[in-house]
């Protein structure tokens, strides 16, 4: 059955290719049924978040009326990037199956610098706020 899901992901990748997008396609499956599929649309949507995996997750969330995608599997044509991997983990997808790994020679973009620059006073207030929030929902 997984070959069929990979074939559907490949068809999505071809749609992206026709739009001059990086040809990545994704399919989410639950209980042996495809619940969503998508392809890259970063250029079309002019939106950095429009990776196939993210769009596929958003469609599945809408269809299931839940942000949690427990018991769902993702089939994707290319191993997810770091951004998508984090979103996939947060969505609680059970398994990710991919066809190819990104070429190691390809350029990676890391022009953003991260640094922690905040006073201890506001950090303490934020820690308390976070602690109270999670205490109240559990």
Q: Tell me the per-residue pLDDT of 41-69, one tens digit each, with 9 for 90 and over.
A: 999 999 999 999 999 999 999 999 999 99
The answer, yes or no, to whether residue 39 has pLDDT greater than 60, is yes
pTM of the model: 0.80
Cα angle 6, 69, 57 (rounded to 5 degrees) comes to 60
Which residue would you say has higher pLDDT here, 114 or 122? 122
Q: Strand pairing of 72-78 and 95-100? A: parallel
Q: What is the mean pLDDT of residues 82-97?
A: 96
- Which is the catalytic residue, given 21, 53, 82, 104? 53
CA distance 54 to 38: 9
Helix%, strand%, coil% for the chain, nearest 5: 45, 20, 35
CA distance 26 to 126: 37
Q: Does 53 participate in catalysis according to the annotation?
A: yes
Cα angle 50, 51, 57 (rounded to 5 degrees) comes to 90
């Amino acid at each position: 059955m997984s070959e069929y899901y990979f074939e559907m992901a490949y068809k999505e990748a071809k749609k992206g290719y026709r739009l001059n997008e990086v040809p990545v396609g994704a399919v989410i499956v639950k209980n042996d049924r495809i619940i969503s599929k998508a392809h890259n649309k970063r250029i079309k949507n002019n939106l950095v978040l429009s990776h196939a995996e993210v769009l596929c997750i958003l469609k599945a969330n809408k269809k299931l009326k839940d942000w949690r995608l427990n018991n769902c599997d993702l089939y994707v044509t290319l191993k997810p990037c770091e951004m998508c991997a984090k979103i996939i983990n947060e969505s609680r997808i059970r398994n990710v199956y991919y066809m190819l790994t990104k070429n190691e020679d390809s350029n990676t973009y890391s022009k953003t610098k991260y640094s922690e620059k905040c006073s201890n006073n506001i950090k303490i207030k934020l820690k308390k706020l976070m602690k109270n929030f999670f205490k109240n929902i559990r």
